[in-house]
Amino acid sequence: MPIPINSKITGYKVLTDGQVVPEPTKELMHEGLSRPSSLPGNTYKIKPPGAEHAMYITINDIILNAGTEHEERRPYEIFINSKNMEQFQWMVALTRVLSAVFRKGGDVAFLVEELKAVFDPRGGYIKKGGYVPSLVAEIGYVLEEHLLWTGVIKKEELSEQAKAYVEQKLAEFGGEVDESGFPANARVCQKCSKKAVIRLDGCDVCAACGDSKCG
């Protein structure tokens, strides 16, 4: 069957008897991929309380199979910039290791969980109604935000039923709600780190992620 050629011929191969025309291959993330001269990305600013200087985190992405049905946006590299030289050497190490993992391809969502689980022995800090256990964890939150924005990972949504339950219980609970939208006296959730755990019907329930110790 003749196959129409709609684009410029850039190469050819003569098939021997028995060989079949190969399917167009889908480009996957791998270390050998050469870096295009420009990459799309975002720069995020974080400033932990007490830090003298802000930190700027840039995450750049690569678009694989552009313009095809297999088009996919993947993180390619991460840079962290700050005037704060105190953190310099391990920040450089962290960004190099993260970038190397990005370029290997495959799952990257686990990096978010690993970073978010790093606790600073001096204690973390509260930010936007959530508890941030360390500066490394905050970098994890930034990476999560970026991966959600680019569609690499999907937000874990509560089921409609669970959402309705939490909303109803929040209404019953009443009381003061702070700027995060959760009761002012809520405690920090072990699972999602939001300050949103309240006691309902004798059971601790997180109003943000629905985590509950009573099933």
- Residues lying near Zn ion in the complex (CB under 5 A) are found at 189, 191-192, 206, 208-209, 211
In which element (H, E) is residue 160 found? helix 160-173
Side-chain-facing half-sphere of 37: CA atoms under 13 Å: 0
Side-chain-facing half-sphere of 100: CA atoms under 13 Å: 6
Could you identify the residue written with the tokens 């910039």?
81
Min separation Cβ 194 and Zn ion, Å: 5
Q: Which two tokens stand for residue 153?
A: 């990972």
Min separation Cβ 188 and Zn ion, Å: 9
Residue (147 or 198) nearer to Zn ion, CB:
198
Residue (99 or 212) nearer to Zn ion, CB:
212
Q: Which two tokens stand for residue 102?
A: 């990005």
Min separation Cβ 121 and Zn ion, Å: 23
Min separation Cβ 139 and Zn ion, Å: 20
Reported in sequence order, the residue ranges of the chain that DSSP labels E, i.e. its strands, are 41-46, 55-64, 72-82, 125-127, 130-132, 187-188, 195-200, 203-206
Residue (59 or 208) nearer to Zn ion, CB:
208
Residue (22 or 215) nearer to Zn ion, CB:
215
Min separation Cβ 128 and Zn ion, Å: 14
* Pure H helices in 67-128: 88-104, 109-116
Backbone dihedral region of 62: left (phi > 0), alpha (psi from -120 to 50 degrees) or beta?
A: beta
How many residues are given for the chain? 215
